[in-house]
Amino acid sequence: MCQGPRLRLLFTPGEIDRAIAGLAAQIDRDYGGEQPLLVGILKGAFVFLADLMRRLSIPVEVDFVRVASYGPGMESSGQIRLVQRLSTPVRGRHVLLVEDIVDTGLSLSFLVDYLGRKRPASLRLCALLDKPERRVVPVTIHYLGLTVPDKFLVGYGLDWDERYRNLPGIYVVEGD
């Protein structure tokens, strides 16, 4: 049998859904009359982005970037590199970066710099989860769902060595 780590439920699907409904209401209000480009950060944010966009009433476009920061296991390598670029021109666009969780802030500050150089009309961040205790570089999260403790989390797009992304809730990994 494949014995995994113990997982402790942190947020139920209902709690996640309520947080997303709140974010969508703010985004609808702030971007009324615009057609923002939602940029999901692969792989983790795809589940959140899929639910968030279906909660929005405004017209949106979607694209993805992928950065690599975490190697296998739970420790960040601290090195950020872009492994998938945008396929949409962002010059003059209202860009909303959509991230699953902000941890050290290194990937987001890298992406804000990368996208900012492409001269978007505006650039904001939306994150489902924030782990503020771990921050190394400051990032401004314009739309934040839930603040979480300094624990390793899985589920709802978040993986542990590619596993558990499909869990509908968010769990703390309690060690092995």
SS3 of residue 64 by DSSP: strand
SS3 of residue 114 by DSSP: helix
Q: Tell me whether residue 161 is one of the annotated catalytic residues.
A: no
Please tell me whether residue 104 binds ligand 5GP under the rule CB under 6 A. yes
CB 121 to Mg ion: min, Å = 25
CA-based end-to-end distance of the chain? 15
The rounded Cα 127 to chain-centroid distance in angstroms is 5
List the one residue from 40, 44, 120, 145 that touches ligand 5GP (CB under 6 A).
Answer: 44
CB 156 to Mg ion: min, Å = 12
Please tell me whether residue 144 binds ligand 5GP under the rule CB under 6 A. no
Give the burial class of 13: count Cβ atoms within 10 A of its Cβ; 0-12 exposed, 13-18 middle, 19 or more buried. middle
Please tell me whether residue 103 binds ligand 5GP under the rule CB under 6 A. yes
Q: Which residues of the chain form contacts with ligand 5GP (CB under 6 A)?
A: 41, 44, 69-70, 76, 99-108, 131, 152-154, 158-160
